[in-house]
Structure 1
């Protein structure tokens, strides 16, 4: 591949100028709380200056006849470096020889930002943005981090970035309980992570295909409102639910987007925040659903409630379920959990509305975190009873996180995933499978 990963070394300057893909990056996020923070951050700022220098050199010396297919630049928000990068990119764009162009912009202080920090970062970005509009006008992807904008700032950004296809906002908002309204003719992907928006309103985004929202702030109202989004097909939602987290009723939440075909819900090993509803209410909004991924379901809880999706989504082809108490990202301190309203594990109530219904399109059920107990066996048998054309059931052990290895092993029950042929055959017999080849043990 003809990509460039810039690390500030002099040898980068000797690379040929005939390349068509460039990734110029500070490589990782500056550490803010290391004991040697001053030196650590200064190293990143030095590398950031090198990124600006290499960007300027490469873009100013290459032949204007050669098209840059992809240009991705990841840099820290410092005035002199930003200006140099943007001016170099703007000059290259003026030749009409730049295809996809992406900025990922990181403020100097990246973690544990105060409200004042967020305002300062937004002010720095707005100054940069206002000084270099030509560079932003040609961007196709933009990723902003840790900024608190004014009421019209994001609207102004989108108005200038007319070619923008992907927008990602991490820890960005316009203040507590602010409303973000989005309109854009070209945007196809939107990702929002954290932030303090009361809601994000997708007013008019005719080409939008994918929306991701992680850890929305407001607990009682819907995080997204769907306006004119006729091509929206992929929806990804992730939240660590507490006792006060509102429950999503898909019949209302997705009432205006029956085009969703790919749904990914991540519960982050905490409360289930969707309500199983009757197929009569849900079928109009889930009729086109083909792929569902239910991630980080809490261990030890019944899985039967997920059957409401099968009842209401006749076009569903694949269902993937991950059961995992991911301990290194969960809140484990009991006092902290009580203080912040975390719930104890509880089963979600569900009763089949049509006990004898048959699902003709589901062909694959994938389970991560499979354990040889009644919860999983009952669930698989239930799915098999209704999915008459099932062809494949891959069963995986718990997912592995290297950080979790630092925890006391006594805190977590060891996996009992079947390892040998006898254990696996016993599971197949418990499932009552007439075709053992359908079940595959993959861990």
Structure 2
């Protein structure tokens, strides 16, 4: 053996030894961690991943029985985040069986003295696995302290692959599961159902069985076209309905309901929601891809029984504006407590002035957030023939006239705009808001909602002169410094404002780029 070869072998051996030493040091570091810290780490992970991590260590396996938070999911396929990997559906069913087995094993062997603060299980609705999970959870509820228990139930077929007969079969299987494991459902706090066509009494039966239920999510669930979903429950605080074919959802008697979300309701001649006795309802989230046939909502009617709304989020998904700008006289009784408004995905190129009807009618409003966005990534939605064939509308400005041109809003302090462009539409809108919002403290202008979150300006309402705006455009690394002119300043009663302690109103008359790639360009 030559000297060169012997030297190479010694180097390889030294490298291998160093690697072993590093592995041992890493193992020593892990073993030196306190149990409380290790438990905290394990409880933040998917429970199946935590079991995989602990299987080679006796000490770590003991910690599994001490967990207080569990998230067991049939989606926990190793490598499921790899977009290049193609999965065999049987792999998910295998993991589903593992979820059932691990649920039964952990809940039956853990210390009953340790409270289960959170038990979240996502599984496919198959008879053997579902019943195993249900019986294990019911036994745990009877013998241990279980806090927030949640079932997220998937079906063997996705919605787009399901026929009407499949949807009925999914509901039949779920009803069998409910009947077989009533004690598990009696202790549930959260329930998420998907892809089911339930009979008329099914939902009331579910709510009756789930006495402690606080959150109900229904995705692609209905009772057939033009059906009515009527809900009554003493404990429910949160409801989410996504893509249902209900003619209307009646919230008849839900005394503790606080949050409602309805995404893409079925086109009907009725309002999508009837709000009955919901005295604590404070947050309402509505999303709809509007078409020509979409009914225009009147907030004065929709919220007629609910004057307690403080947060309102409406997502127009870059299509038809399906809410009617009504007069303050009609809206003030129902929007008097409104403090936060999000108007999401308004179509680009349309005037924004109509949104001022909310300021006119909501005197307590503190924050207004607007997102302007078009279907840039969806070529079909930009095709004129496709849009015409599927009933989508052409872009038109929403008709609106101010009912009190000189009204002043004293509580709005923050305006946020995503999808901001330096054109007349946005400048006119900002000018209009500043003219009426006399205590405005912060305006944030963002290019895009998901990427450009560092753009903001802050203004002091009592300062006269220019306001500096830093507008970051990270996509092509451009930096803007924008100057917003406040040309006139006056008191509420007229005359010049010389005292900074006086309540003043500033009029925005123009925007000029004073730095960066677009220096010298002005917009008025």
Q: TM-score, normalised by structure 2?
A: 0.75
Unaligned runs of 5+ in 1: 402-414, 437-443
Q: Deviations over 1:109-164 (max 9, x none)?
A: 11312211111111111111111111010000000000000110010000000000
What's 1:362 paired with?
412
Secondary structure, aligned partner of 2:150 = strand
Secondary structure, aligned partner of 1:331 = helix
Sort the Cα spacing of 1:23 and 1:428 in 2 relative to 1 into closer, same or farther, 3 A. Answer: farther
Does the 8 A contact of 1:90 with 1:134 survive in 2? yes
1:334 shift after superposition: 3.0
Cα distance in 2 between the residues matched to 1:307 and 1:417? 31
Cα distance in 2 between the residues matched to 1:28 and 1:243? 42
What's 1:379 paired with?
429
Query: Which moved further from structure 2: 124-133 or 386-395?
Result: 124-133
Q: Deviations over 1:290-333 (max 9, x none)?
A: 00000000011000000000000000000000001143467334
Cα distance in 2 between the residues matched to 1:373 and 1:101? 51
Does the 8 A contact of 1:105 with 1:144 survive in 2? yes
Does the 8 A contact of 1:296 with 1:323 survive in 2? yes
What's 1:44 paired with?
92
1:86 shift after superposition: 0.7
Q: Do structure 1's residue 106 and structure 2's residue 154 form an aligned pair?
A: yes
Cα distance in 2 between the residues matched to 1:180 and 1:11? 45
Secondary structure, aligned partner of 2:149 = strand
1:315 to 360, 364, 367: 364
Secondary structure, aligned partner of 1:217 = coil
Query: Which moved further from structure 2: 8-17 or 170-179?
Result: 8-17
Q: TM-score, normalised by structure 1?
A: 0.89
Cα distance in 2 between the residues matched to 1:91 and 1:298? 52
Q: How many residue pairs end up in the alignment?
A: 417
2:285 to 232, 236, 260: 236
Secondary structure, aligned partner of 1:393 = strand
What's 1:424 paired with?
481
2:187 to 133, 138, 158: 138
Does the 8 A contact of 1:202 with 1:225 survive in 2? yes
Secondary structure, aligned partner of 1:105 = strand
Cα distance in 2 between the residues matched to 1:289 and 1:432? 26
Secondary structure, aligned partner of 2:199 = coil
1:296-335 → structure 2 map (5 Å cutoff):
296-328=345-377, 331-335=381-385
What's 2:305 paired with?
256
Cα distance in 1 between the residues matched to 2:433 and 2:402? 12
1:27 shift after superposition: 2.5
Cα distance in 2 between the residues matched to 1:99 and 1:325? 43
Sort the Cα spacing of 1:428 and 1:119 in 2 relative to 1 into closer, same or farther, 3 A. Answer: farther
Query: Which moved further from structure 2: 323-332 or 361-370?
Result: 323-332
1:224 to 232, 253, 273: 273
RMSD: 2.6
1:340 to 390, 408, 419: 390
Does the 8 A contact of 1:7 with 1:26 survive in 2? no
2:256 to 185, 202, 207: 207
Q: Larger RCO: Structure 1 or Structure 2 (Cα < 8 Å, ≥ 6 residues apart)?
A: 1
1:10 shift after superposition: 4.7
Does the 8 A contact of 2:267 with 2:293 survive in 1? no
What's 1:404 paired with?
none
